[in-house]
Amino acid sequence: MVSEKFVSRHKSEKHTQYRHYGLMWQLGGNGEDSHNSKSKVISCPTLAKMAGVDMLYVLNEGFNPSGSMKDYLTAKAVSLGNVQEYKWYTVVSSGNHAVSLALAAQKVGSNVIIFVPASSHKIEFLCSFPNTLVFGVEDSIFEDVYAQYSLFSEFLPDIYNANVSNEFILAGLANVWTAIRGLAHYPTHVLSGVGNGSYLAGFYWGISQTKEKHVPKIVPVGMKGAFPTESAIKKGDHICEYKKFKVLESLIDAAEGSIATGSYSMPQLVYAVAQTNGFPAGELVNDDLAIAYEAILQEKKLTELGAIPEPTGILGLASLLKHKGLFPKNSRPVAVFTGHAIKDIGNVIRITDSKTANEIKLLAEESAKSIEVSVNQPDNSRLHILPKAGGTEMAVEIVKARMEKLT
C-alpha cells in the first residue's frame, strides 16, 4: 500500500542518486500564487450519452494564458524566482511546459533556457518567443533529455530551475481542483493524460488539504506501451520505468507530451490513485484520439466556446469513449482538456480525416485569439542542436555567451 509515509521514505532511501525526480509535495506551501486561471468546467450531455454515463464534464485548461495547465507550475516558478531576483530560468520540456514558462518569464522581463528532444513538434513555436534559447537534443526522447539537463541550473549561477525536480513549484497545482466546487452534482471521477503525473497528483493533494468530503476517483490516462504509471499501479508498486516504448511509436506519437518511459511525479500520483480508489485507463492509440475529436464536434457547448484540446490534452475524453465498461452508468466523470489545440494543430490534422481536421482547425484558430501565446515568426538563431550525449559543455558555453551579450 502506498502511503504518504512510504513515499517520504522511498525518496530518502531509494532515489538519492536520482535528484531529478520530484517525489514529495509538502515543500511548496499552499499554492496561493495565481496565474490568472481561466479554467472552466463545461457540462457535455451529448458526450455523456456517447460514453454511457449520467453526465460528462470537461474541465478546460486551454484558455489559460499560455493555453495550458502548465501555467500553474510556471507561475509559481516565476513568482519564486522573481522574488530571488533571477533573470534566467531553465526547463526540460517536450513543449507545453516550455511555452508556458517562456510566456510567464517574458512578462517579468526574464529569459528561458529550454532543452527539448530535437524531434519535438513545438521547436519552431518555442523559437518564436523573443526570450528563449532553445536546445534540441538529437536522437532522444523526453526522459533522455530530462536525465541530462534537468539540473542544468547547477552548472551556471543565476539560473532558476523550473523543472518539476524543483519541488517548491509543485504547490502551484494545489488549487486546480477548485474549478469543480460550483457543480450541482459532484464528479465521481477525474481523468487526465499523464506526462510527469503532477497535475492529477496536485489535484488530489490540494483537495486533501481541505475538509471537502467528496473526493472523486483519480484516473490517470496514457498511451499504449508508453504509460509506465499504469504498470506501476497494476504491479502494486510505487514507481516503474520502461527501457523503451512497448509499441511502435508511430501508433502513439500524436500525444507527444504524454508518451513516456518514466514519470517523475509517479509516487505522488500512485498515492493519489490509491487514496481515492481510482484506477489507470490507458491503452490509447492515435486512432482513439481521432475518435474523440469527431465526438467533440457533436457537443454544441464545446464548439461554441472553442474548447478544443491538443492531442495530449484530449486523452481523458478518449479514454471515456474507449473504456465505457470502467464507468458505471450513474457516473459523472470529468475529462480534463490540458492544453489548447492551436499549439499542436499539425498533429490534429495528421490523425483526423480531412472534414474533421478542417472543422477543428477553424474552431481552434478562432478560439486561440483569447490566449496569450506568441504570434511572432520563429527565429532559428535561437535554436542550437546538441548531440545525444556529452552536450552539456557546449550548452554552458552558448548560454554564457548569450548572458554576456544581454548584460
pLDDT band at 263 (very low <50, low <70, confident <90, very high): confident
Q: What's the rounded mean pLDDT across residues 332-346?
A: 95
Share of residues in the chain with pLDDT > 70 (%): 90
Q: Would you state the pLDDT for residue 164?
A: 82
Q: Determine the Cα–Cα distance for residues 117 and 141; give it in Å rounded to an integer.
A: 6
Length of the chain: 407
Q: Which helix (H) or strand (E) holds 46?
A: helix 45-51
The answer, yes or no, to whether residue 21 has pLDDT greater than 50, is: no
Q: Would you state the pLDDT for residue 61?
A: 96
Higher pLDDT, 266 or 35: 266
Q: What's the rounded mean pLDDT across residues 264-273?
A: 84
CATH number of 71-169+385-391: 3.40.50.1100
Grid coordinates of 85: 531576483
Given the candidates 3.40.50.1100, 3.30.1490.20, 3.40.50.720, 3.20.20.140, the CATH classification of the domain at 4-68+173-370 is 3.40.50.1100
Q: Would you state the pLDDT for residue 10?
A: 57
Give the largest Cα separation in the chain, rounded: 62
pLDDT band at 195 (very low <50, low <70, confident <90, very high): confident
User: What residues have CB less than 8 Å from 20, skipping those under 6 apart?
Assistant: 146, 147, 150, 151, 163, 165, 264
Q: What's the rounded mean pLDDT across residues 332-345?
A: 95
Comparing 74-78, 198-202, 237-241, the range with the smallest average pLDDT is: 237-241
Q: Determine the Cα–Cα distance for residues 361 and 357; give it in Å rounded to an integer.
A: 6
The answer, yes or no, to whether residue 29 has pLDDT greater than 50, is: no
In the chain, domain spans: 4-68+173-370, 71-169+385-391
Q: Would you state the pLDDT for residue 181?
A: 86
Mean pLDDT of all residues belonging to the chain: 89
Which of 121-130, 192-201, 252-261, 302-311 has maximum average pLDDT?
302-311
| DSSP letters spanning 65-128 | TTSBTTHHHHHHHHHHHHHTT--EEEEE-SSHHHHHHHHHHHTTT-EEEEEEETT-TTHHHHTT
Q: Would you state the pLDDT for residue 11?
A: 56
Q: Determine the Cα–Cα distance for residues 25 and 43; give it in Å rounded to an integer.
A: 31
Q: Determine the Cα–Cα distance for residues 117 and 138; give it in Å rounded to an integer.
A: 6
Q: What's the rounded mean pLDDT across residues 341-353?
A: 94
Global pTM value: 0.88
Q: Would you state the pLDDT for residue 36?
A: 60
pLDDT band at 343 (very low <50, low <70, confident <90, very high): confident
Q: Would you state the pLDDT for residue 28?
A: 44
Q: Would you state the pLDDT for residue 107?
A: 94
Tell me the pLDDT tens digit for each residue of 270-286: 889 999 999 999 999 99
Q: Which of 174, 158, 122 is nearest to 373 (CA)?
A: 122
Q: Determine the Cα–Cα distance for residues 105 and 111; give it in Å rounded to an integer.
A: 6
Same fold? 4-68+173-370, 71-169+385-391: yes
The answer, yes or no, to whether residue 22 has pLDDT greater than 50, is: no
Tell me the pLDDT tens digit for each residue of 99-148: 999 999 999 999 999 999 999 888 988 999 999 999 999 999 888 898 89
Q: Would you state the pLDDT for residue 382?
A: 95
Tell me the pLDDT tens digit for each residue of 156-173: 989 999 998 787 888 888
Q: Would you state the pLDDT for residue 407?
A: 80
Q: Are the C-beta atoms of residues 241 and 261 closer than 8 Å to each other?
A: yes
Q: Which residues pair with 384 in a beta bridge?
A: 135
Q: Which of 333, 303, 335, 324 is nearest to 55 (CA)?
A: 333
